[in-house]
């Protein structure tokens, strides 16, 4: 494909639509990179404040789950711990 013909269809592909999709993905990837950096900074701040980052990440994962699923996992964890004498 050569050139940027507005509305052009080459080889059965709508060039403008394809370009729009690619640019949206590129923009979102750029935003994701910036957000990842921001999250990393927040975890560094938490670590500097004396918080355990692993535990914070675990809490974040738990908060994303349904309460019933969390309760089931905690119950099983308790059963397994007791079975192992922990």
- What is the pTM for the complete model shown? 0.66
Same structural domain, 38 and 76: no
What is the pLDDT, as a whole number, of residue 44?
Answer: 98
What domain range includes position 28? 1-50
What is the pLDDT, as a whole number, of residue 1?
Answer: 46
Same structural domain, 14 and 56: no
Same structural domain, 35 and 23: yes
Distances in Å between the alpha carbon of 66 and those of 22, 56, 57, 73, 77?
A: 35, 18, 17, 11, 17
pLDDT tens digit sequence for 20-73: 999 999 999 999 999 999 999 999 999 999 999 999 999 999 999 999 999 999
How many domains are contained in the chain?
2
Residue 13 binned pLDDT confidence (cut-offs 50, 70, 90): confident
Same structural domain, 64 and 25: no
pLDDT at residue 6 is higher than 70 = no
What is the pLDDT, as a whole number, of residue 10?
Answer: 73
Same structural domain, 42 and 9: yes
pLDDT at residue 7 is higher than 80 = no
Report how far residue 36's alpha carbon sits from residue 43's, in angstroms, rounded to the nearest whole number: 11
């Amino acid at each position: 494909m050569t050139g940027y013909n507005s509305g052009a269809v080459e080889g059965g592909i709508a060039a403008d639509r394809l370009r729009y999709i690619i640019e949206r993905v590129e923009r979102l990837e750029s935003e994701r990179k910036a957000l990842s950096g921001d999250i990393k900074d927040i975890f560094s701040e938490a670590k500097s404040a004396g918080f355990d980052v692993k535990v914070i990440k675990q809490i974040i994962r738990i908060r994303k789950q349904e309460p019933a699923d969390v309760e089931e996992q905690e119950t099983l964890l308790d059963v397994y711990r007791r079975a192992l004498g922990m």
